[in-house]
Amino acid sequence: MTDERQAETDPVFFDALFHRKRKHGKWDVVDAPQLEALVADTHAHLQLLDDPALALARCAANGVGFVCTISDVHEDGSTTYDKLDAWKHEGAVDTAKIVHRC
């Protein structure tokens, strides 16, 4: 199965947990790394994700205090720049929902 077809069948987990794929479409929840300080993600490709806002919310819920998204104007066009403010706003809303569930 191609990565593209696989991505269509993988579930989207609306939580801040870490999920590990198992055989036969099963998933386990695994312990999140215990971070001693805020972490920075200095090489994210938000425009390639199915739900960039949810990814930002998960970052916030797990102690990632800075995300630098990478884009290539020749490959990605202006997608990242055009949608970043909306992703940040949706991510803030999602963070509140995720943290409230924990």
**Residue type (1 letter), 95:** T
Q: Tell me the pairing of strands 39-44 and 64-69.
A: parallel
Q: What does the domain layout of the chain look like in residue ranges?
A: 3-101
Encode pLDDT of 21-49 as tens digits: 999 889 999 988 888 898 999 999 999 99
pLDDT score for 8: 57
Nearest residue to 46 via CA among 2, 6, 93, 86:
86
Please state, in angstroms and as integers, the Cα–Cα distance from residue 5 to each residue in 31, 55, 58, 89, following that order. 28, 20, 24, 29
Q: What is the largest CA-CA distance in the chain?
A: 40
Q: Per residue in 67-101, pLDDT tens?
A: 999 988 888 889 899 999 999 999 999 999 988 77
CA 33 to chain centroid, in Å, comes to 16
Helix, strand, coil abundance in the chain, percent, nearest 5: 50, 20, 30
**More confident of the two residues 12 and 55:** 55
Specify the DSSP class assigned to residue 19: E
Position 2 confidence tier, pLDDT thresholds 50, 70, 90: very low
Per-residue DSSP letter, 9:
H
pTM above 0.95, yes or no: no
